[in-house]
Structure 1
Amino acid sequence: MRDTAAGLAIGAAGGLIFWLLGMPAPWLAGSMMASIAAVFLKVKVGMPDWLRAMAFIFLGIQTGTAVSWDTVDRAAHWPLSIAFLGLTVVAVTWACTLYYVKRSGWDRATALFASLPGALSLTLLLASGTKADMRRVTIAQCIRLFFLVAALPSVISWLSPPDTVSVMPDQMGSLWGVVIVVLGSTAAGYALEWLGVPAGLMLGPMLASAALELSGLISGAAPASILIPANVVLGVMIGARFSHFTFTEFREALFEGFMGFLIALVIAMAGAGVAAWASGLPLALTLLAFSPGGLDAMTIMAFSLNLDPAYVGAHQMARYIGLALLMPVVTAYVLKRMGAHVNVTSPTLPSKLDDR
């Protein structure tokens, strides 16, 4: 409890400072930066599973209640956009793997698993069956996410003129509606979690709250007061991942991590640009959807930056589920072609979203 209280207090303080400074997505980026600083100052920060679960359920509710019939109409353009996203994921993985092998001198297995854009727990599980350097894989993945959360909000804000952003729906005014959506979404989340559905703890609330919204049983978005705590919890969760590394390891890995982030960002911008041109959507929106930062972080950014969370969430969910389903087979095949040692099985798919 003491570690949890410390983590929440530090994260909230960092978010407040970023908010006062007028930074984009302040509660997420600020809490992450403050938590990382605390970790390297030897302060213990913790986050119990039940609090993580609550954050994911509330984030799923936020995303689902943002769905409207206008969203359903716009979804006709999404299959093409998701197809471009798939090509972007392949390009990011190939380019980052090539960089780590040719420029950094990493072995092929380490380079491949360090380059996969997302699903960290499954990536580490698969990497453990190979000769990949697990510490390099983990820190490369964490630093990529660090740079995405720290830098992407500013890039998005620069690309987003006021007339291209999506206006968030009005907040839910009925207490009874809030109770219905929270109970129904929680039940749906744990049901999918029990069934072993990838990202079930967040996918269930998204689907349940969207169904309630479209059916007319509830109206309006969930109260904004639940978004700030979800931001802080997620920021502390990201920061706590760095407790496994020393500051020296973090500093030495910054350059390689930054180069991986930069390669991924350039390719994501190219794919997002094509998708924006083909669908007529704002580049800022497609870039956020294409960025390999994870369903939870990118969806929170969508709310913070006043962009369409349903579009972003749908694309990030497609990327996550696609990686979870295809990664075991594809990585085994690629490593065999590369001549790297591989002993990859098809493990039980992770359903929690604390590892993007």
Structure 2
Amino acid sequence: MRDTAIGLLIGTAGGLGFWFLGIPAPWLAGSMMAAIVAVFSKVKIGMPDWLRAVAFIFLGIQTGTAVSWDTVDRAVHWPLSIAFLCLTVVAITWACTAYYVKRSNWDPATALFASLPGALSLTLLLASGTKADMRRVTIAQCIRLFFLVAALPSVITWLTPPDEVVVMLSQIGGIWDILLLVAVSTAAGYALEWLKVPAGLMLGPMLASAGLELSGLIAGAAPPSILIPANIVLGVMIGARFANFTFREFREALVEGFSGFLIALVIAMAGAGVAAYVSNLPFALTLLAFSPGGLDAMTIMAFSLNRDPAYVGAHQMARYIGLALLMPAATAYVLRRMGMPVVTGKGGW
């Protein structure tokens, strides 16, 4: 509890600092930066599983309550956009793998798992069953997410034309509506988690809150008092992932991590540009949906930047579920083609 309290206090202070400076997405980026500084300053911070679960449930609620019948009407254009997203994911994985193998002399397994965009927990789980260098995989994935959270909000803000209309959602007013929303969404989240549905703790609340919104039982988005704590928890979670690395390792990995981030971002921008053109959507919105970060981080960033969270959440969820379902078979096939062993012994895959 002490480590958790310290982590939340540090994250809140970082968020407040970034908010005061007017930096985009302050609560997420600020809490992450403050947590990373604390970790390398030998401050022990913690984040228990139950608090992570609460953050995911609240994020699912926020995304679901952003759905309206107008969103349903616009969703007819999303399948084509999601198809371009799938091609972008394949291109990012191939390009980053080739870079790490040819320029950094990594073995193919390490390069492949370091390059897969999103689904960090599943990527690390699969990588642990191979000969991949887990420290390189972990730090490459974390550094890419670090740069995305630190830099992408400013890029999105810079790309947004001054006259572009952004999404501003009304808020739920009644306390009973909020209690109903949280109760139903929490039950749905744990139900899908029990059924082993990928990202169930977030997908369940998303579907449940969207159903309540479309049915008219509730109206409006959940208040910022829910979203800001979720931002802080997520930022501290990202920063705490660097606790197993020394500052020297972090510094040495910055070049390779930044190179991988740039490759992924350039390809994501190309895919987002095509999707924006064919779907007649703002480029800043499609870029946020196509960016190779985590489902939670990119969706929460959509709220922070007042973009369409339903569009971003749908694309990030589609990528996450697609990776969760296809990644084991696809990576096994790729590793065999590369001549790498897939099974490492008891418990391997």
Change beyond 3 A, Cα 1:213–1:344:
farther
> SS at the partner of 2:124?
helix
Moved more, 115-124 or 18-27: 115-124
Q: Counterpart of 2:88?
A: 88
Corresponding letter in the other structure for 2:318: A
Q: Counterpart of 1:350?
A: none
Conservation of the 8 A alpha-carbon contact between 2:57 and 2:201: yes
Tell me if 1:235 matches 2:235.
yes
1:71-220 equivalences in 2 (<5 Å): 71-220=71-220
Conservation of the 8 A alpha-carbon contact between 1:14 and 1:33: yes
Conservation of the 8 A alpha-carbon contact between 2:56 and 2:201: yes
Q: Counterpart of 1:12?
A: 12
Conservation of the 8 A alpha-carbon contact between 1:165 and 1:306: no
Q: Counterpart of 2:302?
A: 302
Corresponding letter in the other structure for 1:22: G
Change beyond 3 A, Cα 1:326–1:180:
same
Tell me if 1:2 matches 2:2.
yes
**Following the alignment from structure 2 to structure 1, what is the Cα–Cα distance between the partners of residues 327 and 54?**
28
> Which 4+ runs in 1 deviate beyond 6 A?
none
> SS at the partner of 1:306?
coil
> SS at the partner of 1:163?
coil
Conservation of the 8 A alpha-carbon contact between 1:130 and 1:342: yes
**Following the alignment from structure 1 to structure 2, what is the Cα–Cα distance between the partners of residues 9 and 224?**
18
1:190-339 equivalences in 2 (<5 Å): 190-339=190-339
Number of matched pairs: 346
Q: How far 1:176 sits from its partner (Å)?
A: 1.2
Tell me if 1:50 matches 2:35.
no
Q: How far 1:168 sits from its partner (Å)?
A: 2.3
Conservation of the 8 A alpha-carbon contact between 1:332 and 1:343: no
Deviation per CA, 1:267-321, whole angstroms, max 9, x where unpaired? Answer: 0000000000000000000000000111111111101101000000000000000
Conservation of the 8 A alpha-carbon contact between 1:126 and 1:344: no
Q: How far 1:165 sits from its partner (Å)?
A: 4.0
**Following the alignment from structure 2 to structure 1, what is the Cα–Cα distance between the partners of residues 207 and 162?**
29
Conservation of the 8 A alpha-carbon contact between 1:332 and 1:344: no
**Following the alignment from structure 2 to structure 1, what is the Cα–Cα distance between the partners of residues 29 and 256?**
21
Q: How far 1:344 sits from its partner (Å)?
A: 8.1
Corresponding letter in the other structure for 1:74: R
Conservation of the 8 A alpha-carbon contact between 1:31 and 1:236: yes
Corresponding letter in the other structure for 1:68: S
Change beyond 3 A, Cα 1:344–1:123:
farther
Deviation per CA, 1:315-342, whole angstroms, max 9, x where unpaired? Answer: 0000000000000000010111111121
Q: How far 1:162 sits from its partner (Å)?
A: 3.8
Q: Which runs of 5+ in 1 are unaligned?
A: 348-356
Q: Counterpart of 1:351?
A: none
**Following the alignment from structure 1 to structure 2, what is the Cα–Cα distance between the partners of residues 107 and 2?**
41
Q: Counterpart of 2:69?
A: 69
Q: Counterpart of 2:28?
A: 28
Corresponding letter in the other structure for 2:75: A
Overall identity of the aligned pairs, in %: 84
> SS at the partner of 1:198?
coil
- What TM-score results when the alignment is normalised by the length of structure 2? 0.98
Conservation of the 8 A alpha-carbon contact between 2:120 and 2:294: no
Conservation of the 8 A alpha-carbon contact between 1:165 and 1:307: no
**Following the alignment from structure 2 to structure 1, what is the Cα–Cα distance between the partners of residues 22 and 208?**
34
Q: Which runs of 5+ in 2 are unaligned?
A: none
Corresponding letter in the other structure for 2:48: P
**Following the alignment from structure 1 to structure 2, what is the Cα–Cα distance between the partners of residues 280 and 162?**
18
Conservation of the 8 A alpha-carbon contact between 1:66 and 1:168: no
**Following the alignment from structure 1 to structure 2, what is the Cα–Cα distance between the partners of residues 286 and 72?**
17
Conservation of the 8 A alpha-carbon contact between 1:7 and 1:45: yes
